[in-house]
Each structure stands twice: as structure tokens, then as C-alpha cells.
Structure 1
Amino acid sequence: MSTVVRSSDGLGGRAARGGVIAISGQLARSMVNAGAIIVLARLLDPSAFGYVAMVVAVTGFGEVLREVGLSKAAVQAARLTTGQRDNLFWMSTGMGVLLSVAIFVAAPLVASFYEQPVLEEITRWIAVTFVLNGLGAQARASIQRDLRFATNAVIDIAGPALGLCVAVAMALHGASYWALVGQQLTIAVVVNVGLLLVAGWVPGFPRRGERMRELVGYGANLLGAQSLWYVSSNIDTILVGSRLGPAAAGMYNRVFQLMKLPITQLNNPAMRVALPVLSRLQEDKQRYREFLVRGQSVLLHLVIPVLALAGALAGPVIEIVLGPAWIPAVSTFTVLALAGLFQAAGFVANWIFMSTGRTRAQLQFALVTRPLMIVAVIVGSAWGMVGIAVGYAVSMIVFWPLSLWWAGRVSGIGVAVLFGNALRAIIGHLVPAVVAAAVVRLIAPASPLHALGIGILVMFLGLLLEVLCWRKLRIDLRNVLRVRHLLRRRPGRREARDWVRKTNSRGRYAE
């Protein structure tokens, strides 16, 4: 019993330090992505973004099919042999090649759907990324299984950084939407070649006799859920592009990406830390629950204040980040930011589904909820971009508590504390953000920078007042800050031996 506790403590330290490395790397990447949004929005017109967004909204579904859930299956597996890993590599690569060819051939259909001939050539170039992503998929899974968070972070920063450089250079030479295509291709090349170089293994030939059924089954169920998630999450861009044209699609895409920026940049590293750690703690329910609650708290108290303030001060934020030309998208961004609050609150349900291997239940949940989102967005499209955003936001608000209940029911994990954590985080940050927006509106500062500065100050003071008066919120924030204690801990020799013994028997590659 004592061995398990010490091993778990050592795992806690590695998870916390890995989380800081992953989040720090993702923050650096978010700065690059934010720079891309700010710079490219001023170099290119909305229609350039619209063309690429319309293509990616359709072809991106191929990326979900290409992945087939196999990377997540490799990370989640308690034990993965070298033969299984090699087979997964060739399966991912084969799917990448197959889909690249299929999308290349289907390019005229994409252009015909939107009635935009220029999209045919864009689609064919985007198709190249599927081969590259297929080659690097299992290399990334290998790095994540080994908890090599720093390596993963460096690669994920280098790709977008070089992609931005290429896009800016092309945009300055008048390349228009081709600058964005060049950005996509550069990122795919740099990231996947980097993953293959640092993964530390060379895939062998496919092997017979390896137990692949469970891995493929896990991936197949995850594929179904992710497919529904992708369609429901991108139907809005498709509708805007097909009904309102490339300029409107470009505006919608930019404000949607701006909303997703804090979510993606923090949820992705959180998932990379949470999935392998929680998967190894499945048998220790108490430790599992502790990691789950703490991880959720850290994620939400980083993401929600950013989204709450950005949505409340949408006008100044849009003018500062994108420029005055994008002001017509302010109302859409406000609604999407609200949706983002509840989307972030629901991510913990995915952690439970995937770390416990309940991807079948995740698929069932998607089968019930995602078609409802598609209907809500289609109905909302009658009122233009804002109506589409409202349909998306209503879906996120409804699905959040439902996802927690569903995940708790199938896993046996108590979710009441997770619901309470998220609700306090949403209310605790949203209320001072709304007050900040009211104060800014009352004062009416002369510049958007002054408006944003006043809003940040008012929100901080409001949050400070809440912390003084609201005991449970104070405890939540204190627990988030206590994560630093894990960062200072270093497992001793016996802890290290326990870690290696447990990992070799359950968590690493074995022949």
C-alpha cells in the first residue's frame, strides 16, 4: 500500500512539473498564434481567411478520419508492445496517404459546393498535410507516453513560429490566401519531421500476431465521437461560407479562432498531461479523483477569466487584436466567448471518458448531443453570424452538465464536486467581468487600450472582493496555487524505483 502512495506522489510531482512545462510551452505557442492573428489580420483581407477556412472546415473532417483515434489509444493503453506501436504507425500513415489522395481528387466537389472555383487549388495543397500528420502521429504518442513534455512543447512552438514567418513573408509579397496555405504546410512539415527526429525510435515492419483489437476498438469509438464533434463544431463555418460568402466566413473564422485561442492553448497541454497520468491511476480511485479535481481547477481558473473579460470587452479587444475593419464581428465574438466558458467547463468529461477507456460511452453521448447542436446552429443561421453563434452557445450551456452526468454514470466517478468547481469558476469570473464592462461603458475611454486597461483593473478588484467574501471560491484558488508544492518536490530513490517498476510493468513499451 505504501508503495502505491509513494509512486502516486512521485507521479504527482512529474504531472505537476510536466503540466507547467506543457502549459508554459503552450503559452509561448499562444503568443505565436496571437501574433499570427494580429499581424495577418492587418496584412490580409477577410475573404483570404474565408477561402482557407471554408476549405479546412470541410477537409478537416479527413484529419479526424486519418487519426482514427489511434494516437489516443496508444497513450491510454496501460501496456503497449513494440509490435503494436509499429502496427499503429503504419495504420496512421496509411490512412494519411489514403485521405490525401481522396481529398486531392475531391477538390472540384469542394469548390462546387461553395460555388468558389478558387477553392479547388487550395484544397489540393491542403491535402498534402494528411500524409505528414499520418507520419508523425505515433511519434507524438510515444513522446506523450514517456511524459517528455518539454520536447513536445519545443516542437509545438517551432512549427507555428516558422509557419508565421512564411505567411508574413508571402503576405508582404501579395500572396493573399496563398500565404495562409503556406502557413499550414510549413507547420505540418516542421512539426511532423521534428516529432519523427526526436521520438527515439524507428518503426519496424508491420507484425502479425499482435493484439490490436482493443486498441482499434478504443480508437473506433473515439473516432465516432470525434467525427460528430467535428461536424457539429464546424457546421457554423460551413453555413457562413455557403450562405454569406468568403468575407463573412473570414470574419467568423477569425473571431472564432480568437475565442478558441485560450481554450486550445491551455486544454491541449492539460490533456497531454491528464490522459497518461489519469490512465495510470485508474485503479487508485482516490488519487484519480484528486488529480481530476485539481487539474480541472487549474484549467478553468486560467481559461475562464480570459474568456469572460474578452467577451465583456469585445469591442476594445477586437479593435486592438484584429483592427477596426473587424468591428462588425464584435457581437458574434461576445456570444462565442460565452460559449467558450461552458465548453471549457465540459472538457473534464472527456478526460474521464478517455482515461478510463469509456470511449463507447463517449460515442453514445456524442450521438445524442451533437445532432442537437447541428440543428441549433442551422436554426440560428436564419439570423446570420450572430444567430449561428447563439445556436452554438446554447448547445454548449446545455451540454456541460449533461456531459458530467454521463461521464460520472458510466465511470462511477463522483462528478458533483466537478460541477461545483466549474460553476464557481464561471460565476466568480463572469460577474466581475460584467461589472468591468459596465464601468468601461460608463466612463467611455478615448482609446481601446485605455478601455481594456480600466476593464482589467476593475475585474481584478471585483475578483479580489469576491475572494474576501466567498469562502469556497477562496479555497478553490488556494488549491490551484498549492500546485506549486508539487513542483518543488523531487521523488527520492525509493520513489524513483517504485516509479520505474510500476512503469515497466504497466506503462511503457514491452516486447
Structure 2
Amino acid sequence: MNSRQSLKGAYLLVGAKGLAASIGLISTLVLARLLHPEDYGLVVLVDAVVTLLAAMTELQMASVLTHLPKVTDAHLCTAWTLNALRATALAALVWASAPLLAWFYGKPELESIAWAMSLSVFLGSLQSPRMAMLARELNFKSEFILTLSQKLVGFAVTLVAALYWRNYWALVAGTVATQACALVMSYWCAPFRPRITLVKLKDLWGYSMWLTASMFVKTLNARMDQFTVGKLFSTHTTGVYSLAGRLSSVLFTETLAAALKVISPSLVPLQNQRTALAKAYLNSLALVCCLFLPMATIASALSEPVIAIALGPKWNDVTDVFRVLVMVACLESLGTVGLSVVLATLNTRLAFHRDLLSLCARLLSMSAGYALGGFTGLLWGRAACALVDCLLYFRIAGQVTGLSLSQQTLSTWRTLTACVLTYATVAGGQLSPLAVPPGGAMSSVLGLVAWGVAGLILHGAVQWLIWVFAGRPDGPERAIAHYLRALINRSSSGQSA
């Protein structure tokens, strides 16, 4: 596949994730008006445990099929068989652990929620393995359809259930419906007739073993804060923390994940060309940082009016949590650009070692934060370990590409500097009397939009000035300037015609 086709695939997938994120954002905002923090708190406790159990048994067959040098029909059937065995074992494990979960947290409602979620994890493990082959070819049209359809179905079911039940069962119903839709649509988008066999087990397991171990440690790492908050604090606080995390994920992590899903397969042809691989990785890192970090910075700076307008007064506690978690989500996602180059070169053992170090860092930072400042300290401990996560990703990427930590960090220094100045200006501006325009809700919304646009313009101007004074080096600024110039020229040519 040529670069033009790859770029088209990237646009399509990122566009799909952007639309899905928009649907997810609307869903989150609507449901927050219908439900309460306690509802989110109950479901997130089960979801954290289910996700951890899923990670313990996750075989990462899609990633294996994407990165293996040669894939046959026997590989696909073996992958499907392994996933089917895993789905059955996982559903049984979730079902059996339901009473223990309810006892541990002292919440009887968790037992029935876990039983319902066992159906979700079963359905979610049986998707067509041929979807991985489409991703391998950077053909993301089917994934575009799959992503949007499951978001729409999940939103519709959750909304109807929320209007009817007005409790946590709406979230559970939406989760099950989403997985059921993904299962059906995967076979519609990528037809596949499964055959039970393990003939290619050896080919798949060697790569999958380290990736599975890495996924388990990574999931334990990612869900540790939910376990901790759920055990140490009330369901209200857990729900607040959960919704803040969901908002940050919908706004940034999901769209970034789409970009990263394009990056890794595009680096596979450069596996044995270290210099070219390093250059492609640095370009990807700088571009992702340039496009996504400014938006996260402005969202964090405007967290107070965003939460007040979007969610209403009963969710005021989300403000400070969202301010931190949106930056955490963006930092960790930027770091995973480094993971893309590691997976592209099949160095999965490095990913496992990184995740172990990250887990230790998170244990120390969150424990120290909680001991020093309770929930607020735990939150800032979470932020500290996000920075460590990012640097650890850079470290393993450096082992693969030969790039030093400073080389990787310096590739993003202009964006980071502009983000610091933008955050200080926008956040400081919220303290002025002009930050709250007179009038009703519409005036508040318009004022928020104006601040957001002003922040983006300010960031663009600052980064452009830094780039110019730095001597206009190669980087995302040059690529963006070239794209804008071409767009203006095409527009001018169209008007002339």
C-alpha cells in the first residue's frame, strides 16, 4: 500500500474515532443529566475487575495477526479458536467472582451487575479475526463502519434504558449492546467462517505470550486508581472519578488510539531500517504531540466552565479531577507512540518490562500521594506517574531506534513550551471578571467557545513564533504549513476557474 493510501486510511480511521468520540461525548453528557455519581461508581467497580480479569486472559490475537510476517487461513482459525476458549473461560470466571466482588466492596448490587457483564465479555471476545487483516493492510473502511455502528447502538440502548430505569442498569445494558453490535458487525464487515483448530498455536503463542503479560500488567496499572478509589472512598467519589476519566478518554484517548493504530502498521516495513525507522517515529511523535496536546491543554485550563455548562451543579466535584485526568490521558497516549515502534519491531518483551516498572512507579506515587493528601494527593500522584509512564515509553522506543531520551523529548519541545504559555494565559484569564459573560446559558456557551478558539489561536501563534526563531527546522510545523499553503492554492484556483 502506498503512502497516499496509508494517509487516506489514517484520515478515515481518525475520522471514525472522532465521530465516535463525539457520540460518546454526547452520550456521556446526556447520561450525566439522567444518572447520579453513585450509578457510575457501582458500574466502574465491576468494570475495573472485569477489565483486569480480561487482561489476565487476553491473547492479543489481533495484534499478533497484524504484525506477523505471513498470515494464512490456518492462523486465522487458530486465533478464533483460542479466542473462543478464552471467551468461555473469562465469562465463567467473571460469573464465579461476582459474590466475592460484592463482599469485598460491601455492595450487594455488584453481584447482579457482574453476572450481566459476563455476557458482555463473552460477546466481546468472539469478533471476526479477519478484521486484523484489514488493519494490517491499512484498510480502515470496515473499522469505520464497525466503530460508528457500535457507538450508535450503545448510545441508543443506554439512553432508552436510562429514561426507563434511571439507574446503573442503563450503563450495563449499553455495554452489553455495544459488544453484541461489535460482534455482528465484525462478521458483516470482514466475513469469516471459523474452523476449530490449534495447528498454528506455536506461531501465534511466541509473540502473544509477552504481549499478554504486558497487557495484564498495563491493565492492572491503568485500573489501580479505580480499585483504590473504590475501596478507600464512597461510591459518589468513585463515580466522580470515573466520569472525569470517561470524559478525558472520550475527548482525547480514543481519537489518539486511532492515530496510533495507523502508526504501528505503517512502521512495520521499516523493521530492518533503523535510521529510517527512527526518523519516521520522531515525525509521528512530533505530529501527534502538535495536534493533540494543545487541545488537552485548553480543555484542562477551561475545566471549570466546561463541567459547569456540560454537566450541571450535581457534578461540580468533577472539575478538579477532570483538570488533572485530561492531561494524564494525553501524556500517556503520547507516550504510547513509543509503544507503536516497539510493537512494529516485535520487541514485546521490552513492553512487558516497561509495564512492570510503570506499575511499581504508580504504586509508589499514588501511595505517597494518598498518605500526604488523601484524595487530592492520590490524584496528583496519578499525574506524576503519567509523566513517568511517558518517559518509560520513550526509553523502550530508544532501545529499538537508537534515539536518546533527549532526542525524543526535544522533538516536542516547541509544542510543550507553547502549551505551558497557553495554559497559563487561558487559566489565568478565567480569574478575570471578563471570564464570565453576562446573560444566560447561551452567553456562557458562547463565552466558553470564544475562550477555546482564542486559546487555539494563541497556541498556534506562539508555536509558529518559536518555530521561526528556531530557524524553521523540519517538524510538524513545516508539514502543517505546507498543507495549509496547498489548501489555499487549491481554493484560489477553484475561485479563479
Counterpart for residue 479 of structure 2: 479
Contact 1:78 1:279 in 2 (8 A): no
Matching residue within 449, 462, 477 for 2:445: 449
Counterpart for residue 164 of structure 1: 155
1:207, distance to aligned residue in structure 2 (A): 4.7
Counterpart for residue 35 of structure 2: 44
Distance 1:120 1:397, change over 3 A: same
Contact 2:243 2:318 in 1 (8 A): no
Relative contact order higher in (CA < 8 Å, ≥ 6 apart): 1
1:224, distance to aligned residue in structure 2 (A): 1.6
1:293, distance to aligned residue in structure 2 (A): 2.8
Correspondence 1:222 to 2:202: no
Moved more, 404-413 or 77-86: 404-413
Moved more, 409-418 or 115-124: 409-418
1:47, distance to aligned residue in structure 2 (A): 0.6
Q: Distance in 1 between matches of 2:464 and 2:253?
A: 31
Counterpart for residue 8 of structure 2: 17
Consecutive unaligned residues of structure 2, counting only runs of 5 or more, are 438-442, 488-497
Q: Distance in 1 between matches of 2:63 and 2:460?
A: 40
Correspondence 1:204 to 2:200: no
Counterpart for residue 139 of structure 2: 148
Q: State TM-score, norm by structure 1.
A: 0.87
Correspondence 1:134 to 2:125: yes
Counterpart for residue 462 of structure 1: 458
**Within 5 A, what are the aligned runs for 1:386-401?**
386-401=376-391
Count residues with an aligned counterpart.
476
Correspondence 1:404 to 2:394: yes
Deviations 1:133-154 (A, max 9, x none): 2211624323312322011011
Contact 2:87 2:122 in 1 (8 A): yes
Q: Distance in 2 between matches of 1:245 and 1:417?
A: 44
Q: Distance in 2 between matches of 1:309 and 1:339?
A: 14
SS at 1:270 equivalent:
helix
Correspondence 1:246 to 2:235: yes
1:213, distance to aligned residue in structure 2 (A): 3.0
Q: Report the AA paired with residue 391 of structure 1.
A: G
1:486, distance to aligned residue in structure 2 (A): 12
Contact 1:282 1:288 in 2 (8 A): yes
Contact 1:274 1:295 in 2 (8 A): yes
Moved more, 74-83 or 402-411: 402-411
Counterpart for residue 272 of structure 1: 261
Moved more, 321-330 or 412-421: 412-421
Moved more, 112-121 or 318-327: 318-327
Deviations 1:260-288 (A, max 9, x none): 22332222212221222212321334443
Contact 1:381 1:388 in 2 (8 A): yes
Moved more, 41-50 or 343-352: 343-352
Contact 1:222 1:359 in 2 (8 A): yes
Counterpart for residue 359 of structure 2: 370
Q: Report the AA paired with residue 153 of structure 1.
A: F
Q: Distance in 2 between matches of 1:428 and 1:395?
A: 23
Counterpart for residue 495 of structure 2: none
Moved more, 462-471 or 347-356: 462-471
Contact 2:95 2:114 in 1 (8 A): yes
Counterpart for residue 351 of structure 1: 340
Contact 1:29 1:156 in 2 (8 A): yes
1:72, distance to aligned residue in structure 2 (A): 0.9
Contact 1:239 1:381 in 2 (8 A): no
Q: Report the AA paired with residue 478 of structure 1.
A: R
**Within 5 A, what are the aligned runs for 1:96-115?**
96-115=87-106
Matching residue within 225, 233, 248 for 1:236: 225
Q: Distance in 1 between matches of 2:41 and 2:11?
A: 35
Moved more, 58-67 or 386-395: 58-67
Q: Distance in 1 between matches of 2:243 and 2:97?
A: 26
Cα root mean square deviation, aligned: 2.3
Q: Distance in 1 between matches of 2:464 and 2:135?
A: 40
Q: Distance in 2 between matches of 1:166 and 1:425?
A: 40
Q: Distance in 1 between matches of 2:279 and 2:486?
A: 13
Q: Distance in 2 between matches of 1:444 and 1:416?
A: 38
Q: Report the AA paired with residue 428 of structure 2.
A: A
Correspondence 1:424 to 2:414: yes
Q: Distance in 2 between matches of 1:77 and 1:485?
A: 40
Counterpart for residue 294 of structure 1: 283
SS at 1:106 equivalent:
helix
SS at 1:68 equivalent:
coil
Distance 1:411 1:285, change over 3 A: closer
Q: Distance in 2 between matches of 1:198 and 1:465?
A: 43
Matching residue within 241, 244, 258 for 2:247: 258
SS at 1:78 equivalent:
coil
Counterpart for residue 491 of structure 2: none
Contact 1:71 1:137 in 2 (8 A): no
1:253, distance to aligned residue in structure 2 (A): 0.3
Q: Report the AA paired with residue 126 of structure 2.
A: L
**Within 5 A, what are the aligned runs for 1:178-197?**
178-197=169-188
Moved more, 357-366 or 402-411: 402-411
Contact 1:305 1:429 in 2 (8 A): yes
Q: Distance in 1 between matches of 2:391 and 2:265?
A: 25
SS at 1:119 equivalent:
helix
Q: State TM-score, norm by structure 2.
A: 0.90
Q: Report the AA paired with residue 362 of structure 1.
A: A
